[in-house]
Amino acid sequence: MALAQRLDLRQAQTLVMTPQLQQAIKLLQLSNIELSDFVDREIEQNPLLERDSGPSDGGSDPVVNGEAAGGLDGPGGAEPGSSLADSFNGRDDGPALPPSDGRTRDTVELTSSDTMGASSESPLDTDFENVYSDDRFSDGSDGGNEVYGSYNERGGRSGFEDDDSNLEATLTGQISLRDHLTEQLKIDLPEHGDQLIGLALIDMLDEAGWLTGFDAAALAEQLGCDAARVERVLAACQRFDPPGIFARSLKECLAIQLREKNRLDPAMQALLDNLELLAARNLAGIMKVCGVDAEDVADMVSDIRKLNPKPALLFDHTPAQLVTPDILMRANPGGGWLIDLNPDTLPRVLVNQRYFARISNVARNKADKDYLSEKFQSANWLVKSLHQRATTILKVASEIIRQQDAFFIHGVSHLKPLILRDIAEAIGMHESTVSRVTTNKFMATQRGVFELKYFFTSAIQGADGQAAHSAEAVRHRIKAMIDAEKAEDVLSDDKLVDILRAEGIDIARRTVAKYREAMKIPSSVQRRRAKMSRM
């Protein structure tokens, strides 16, 4: 067979994931906190990027993320190349793209007729100036005192003669559990060796204040002492405040607190040895093992309910992390809904084109010009990607509200079955794009703050074979029926199935049991015992 060289021309379609496209996709799934950190890192690395902290002072002509481009799946905006060419030609008298006030204008109005339009008059898009005038340090000229002026504009004190500290604004320090236990350790265990063992025990406490999986022999070998000494120090530490600390199990935690109250009698000890009977509400079994009557059992159970099974949580001073919604939704007085992107979660990034034009004119070698060109294109692409992200989030949220309009009007019982494909087909995007947009994004509504993922639920077939019901709405219906049941008429899973089928919901018994267990609702037998014990 002869060997020969050939030149063929073939046509093929491939998808190339450029670094810029990868960045735009990555920005979609970032939460507002992660996005803010990402933008901060980009600003540190790119000298042409800066945050817009207020109205422009005329020193730079910005390209703002609210004016850069369209949606992620739509056509792009102005090409960075044209702005780059204008800047290299020395055009520093105006921006390459249309001027902007530094805010993203993404306001959508949803009406009952399913029309959507931009509303630029939304109060959330209004510029609020945070300027405080103070003439005490001004000499009457236009220049004034720039140092004091900038300090006042940042909300600081008007002058340096007012040096009094605001004591009312000072937060009081919260003592930690370790500090609280260490102080008691120094008093109750004066020996240095015992204090070292006590400090090791403190370090082994979990978030509940227990010594989970504690092994005295292993700790003694690690510290080079006897196991009996470790047990003696542990017994002393178990008398510390709060009561129940340093327990190795729930039984021991409750016993320590009952001993502190002088309520640990033989009958109570027998109850602690059979806590599984108490969990199952088996009053007859408790009376048998404890040798007491029903009245004594009620008193013992009442004493146990007053105890704290997790004593360390009394010193848990971690502040609750509030969720900042990405989308703000409110009712339109004329009907329908108004949707805004939360301006607090949108980073306002500027590209300083005047600074770029000035330094590009003094760049002499090719390496400097290439560096400036790369940073300018990277900055423009970041601004474009941020706008694409905001536009895509608004588009997806608008379609979700259209699909779940009955939920916002009537409540969770009217939540419709919804999957990612439904939203993707309605807005002309891919399912993966919708999945990224709905990840770690929250929407504030008149019914509370919900993650966008909450509105996507599977469907349960209706009894008529046509209508479908949302799984979340069915779970809500099951919980409502169980909450309304009486002690003498507790609903079993079979009874719940019959009621739901009578309401047009075709559901299996195992599905009802799965939903009930997921909501941490006990079985009908346990609920009946619990209700009877409270009568």
Task: Give 160-205 pLDDT, tens digit per residue.
Answer: 444 455 544 555 567 888 889 999 999 998 888 889 999 999 999 9
Q: pLDDT tens digits for 294-337?
A: 888 888 988 999 999 999 888 866 666 678 899 999 998 888 89
Name the β-bridge partners of 450: 443
Q: Within 10 A of 25 (CB to CB), how many other CB atoms are there?
A: 17
- Which pLDDT band holds residue 130 (cuts at 50, 70, 90)? very low
- CB neighbour list of residue 167: distance below 8 Å, 6 or more residues apart: none
Radius of gyration in angstroms for the set of CA atoms belonging to the chain, rounded to a whole number: 33
Q: Which residue has the higher pLDDT, 87 or 455?
A: 455
pLDDT of residue 396: 94
Distance (Å, whole) CA 212 – CA 246: 9
pLDDT of residue 450: 92
Q: What distances in angstroms separate CA 161 from CA 138, 164, 228, 337, one per listed residue?
A: 15, 9, 65, 52
Q: pLDDT tens digits for 403-461?
A: 999 999 988 888 888 999 999 999 999 999 999 999 989 999 988 899 999 999 888 87
Q: What distances in angstroms separate CA 389 from CA 25, 34, 73, 185, one per listed residue?
A: 9, 14, 10, 55
Indicate the pairing of strand 49-51 with strand 459-461.
unpaired
φ, ψ dihedrals at 507, nearest 5°:
-140, 145
